[in-house]
Structure 1
Amino acid sequence: MTKQSEFDVVVVGGGPCGATAADDLARQGYRVALMDKAGRIKPCGGAIPPRLMRDFDIPTHLLCAHATAARMIAPSGKTVDMPIENGYVGMVNRDTFDEFLRERASASGAQRIRGEFSTIERTADGQSHVHFVNETGTAQSIRARYIIGADGARSKVAKQNIKGAGKIPCVFAYHEIIKISDHVMADYDPSRCDVYYQGHLSPDFYAWIFPHGDTASIGVGSAHKGFSLRGAIKDLRAASGFATYETVRTEGAPIPLKPLKRWDNGRDVLVAGDAAGVVAPSSGEGIYYAMACGREAATAVTEALKAGKVSALKHARKRFMKAHGKVFWVLGIMQHFWYRNDKRREKFVQICADPDVQYLTWQAYMNKELVRAKPAAHARIFFKDMGHLLGLSPT
């Protein structure tokens, strides 16, 4: 099965988080196994910021489109366009993007294993054995000093090893990839992301149409279990003129919207990415945060390997939340207030027309940190938000 059965680190999950962690560790010369199930593609709009391109050395050929604006659509049908000044949103196809990251990790020395994680067994001699089922259906196991669980929102690694991991709140996402013809409607712009804040399409989140070059992602998210995601997409495709366009593939999966309070088991396991709950509230953005989390996980495991102290595993969550916790908190408040009903969603889209909001939104997105350089803009936004919430602003 493998050339070696003992590793310093086994990374379970080969998405952006796991592949980044495996690559970082392998580059340092550690014996790394990257375990991933074959054929799975996560439902995702595929948006990545310029900072991700810089921080993780992503080649531009992986971008299938450059979005230079977003259109926000209110419940009433009113639209607000938000152009991006001196920047862009990069769009990627997750099948090719994720495979590039996995292959890069392999080229750095990580050993790829096609298989599905089963459980971790600790033997009397203190060793950890990772049990899995390979692609032929055969049960196998390998030994590891540490295990990074990057196996998604319903992570088996997390559920079996981290207290409370099975109760993480999620939005359920579903999207359909459609083939874009040469004769698309006048309202479709291949350089614009369309975001629908309409209760009939999502009672608590949003729906989207994102350009992907010769295809487009039409998706929706909701935490309401009784809500029909497929029905919402059918309605959106009909309303946007895409009802008869060829469907290339469909995908669905839960997306966590709250970081776990603890990411390690104090012994040999550290979870990261969706398994740790690091998807941004309000926007549902996850690729950048998954890769940043994967890097923090690799750094923490490196510290544990060098010092021989499992307490180093706690550093991953501490550093990640120090860097991004405030952003998650602000976005969580936004989602709680503005996505509650169509009346508030209407006001939210109206606020998006404000130049201060647009500037601070895009600066925060592209640089992945809160903008502190314009305190007057923050103050203006605060008072405008309060005016809308109290019904004092004109509609």
Structure 2
Amino acid sequence: MKDEIAYIQKQIAEKNAKTHELANLRKLLDEDFLTDAQAEIVGKQIELLKEEVDSFKQRSVTKDIGFVLDKYKKYRLESEDLANVKIEYIQLGFLVKSEITLIAGKSGGGKSLTALAISNMALMNNKVDHVLYFDMDNSISTLKDRKVDTLLNQHKERFQYYTTTHKKNGTGVSEQNIWDILSDLEKANGEEVLIVIDSAKNFLSSGADRDKNKDVSALMKKFKRLRGKKFTIILLHHTNKPQKDIDELTYAGSSAWMEDSSNAFILRHNEYKKTFIFEPIKQRSGCLQERAYIFESETISLKMTPLFESKLSKTDEMLVEAIKTFIASSKNQPTYSDIFKNLIDNGFRNNDKINAVIQGGKGLYWIATKDTKNNNRDIYQLMPDKKDSSDKSKNKQLSQSKSTKE
């Protein structure tokens, strides 16, 4: 041991000597009476010593980094920390457990309505033990119209609704009261709790701007702390007014709204079909899918509907009916070109829309198969049940026609 200590002391002394020599040479280089030739010699020696001293420092850093890393080993992520982690869903393909999901939609577009349905279904299906709904957006009359009292009576303590418009024992509930609750929740385990924030911009601190990253990030940090406690969080948010395309929707405000969320959806309401379409615009956790639902007011729930049908407009439905009629009345199974030409001849002018409906209706209304005798071109026939209903419809029309003539 003594020999090792002596060797270490010798090494340190040599390093100190080199460092001291380098310092002396630098001073010598500043002497007024030094000739150019002498300065050149001193300069070369400084460069050599400098390389040696720098190598001492590098070796020292390499040695010290191991010490630092060992010191903080307890803080780093280990493989066993991820061993039992699994992706769970409160609603498959849509709402991932213990994550922040942003749902952005137009004002009056069904955000709160669908969030209530999701909350009710999560409790009914025992996906969570509690739902905590924080509302700084809607009036008491709106809550009554949406049957919030029904959910409160049905689920009791499992469904808790906090709103600044609510008066309890004559005392107003303030924004600070709501934030006190949210702050205290950071101390709890939220693994079996769903939190709904309605709507997110109303939870910004006084004077904060929804368009500024620093203001939004400060709010999102609070929600991320709750996520760290395994709470599942739905943030309801607004979309901007479309600039050109009426169907073009994007979330409003700072990019931090989406950046700090785990997943995000745009919610579209098809008033014609009375459907709600959730379109994923960000996916960080889980496997998300575009989903469509109808709201069932009696049960305060969402019923999934076929996506293509849910997006149809009145014009789209007219196209579907025209295609079904043409396929049913064709002597031979028509090709794509036959169908397309027939629609154009009958006054439909939007080529992109025609193509979208023909392609989207496959498997729903008609089947496309390859005609091996005709260069493998697609030929179309109605789905069996659709064909039957089409035939019945035609027979009914004929019967009515005969009755009218008689």
In the superposition, the TM-score normalised over structure 1's length comes to 0.29
Q: Which structure has more helix as a fraction of its residues?
A: 2
In the superposition, the TM-score normalised over structure 2's length comes to 0.28
- Taking CA–CA contacts closer than 8 Å with sequence separation of 6 or more, which of the two structures ends up with the larger relative contact order? 1
Q: Which one has the largest radius of gyration?
A: 2
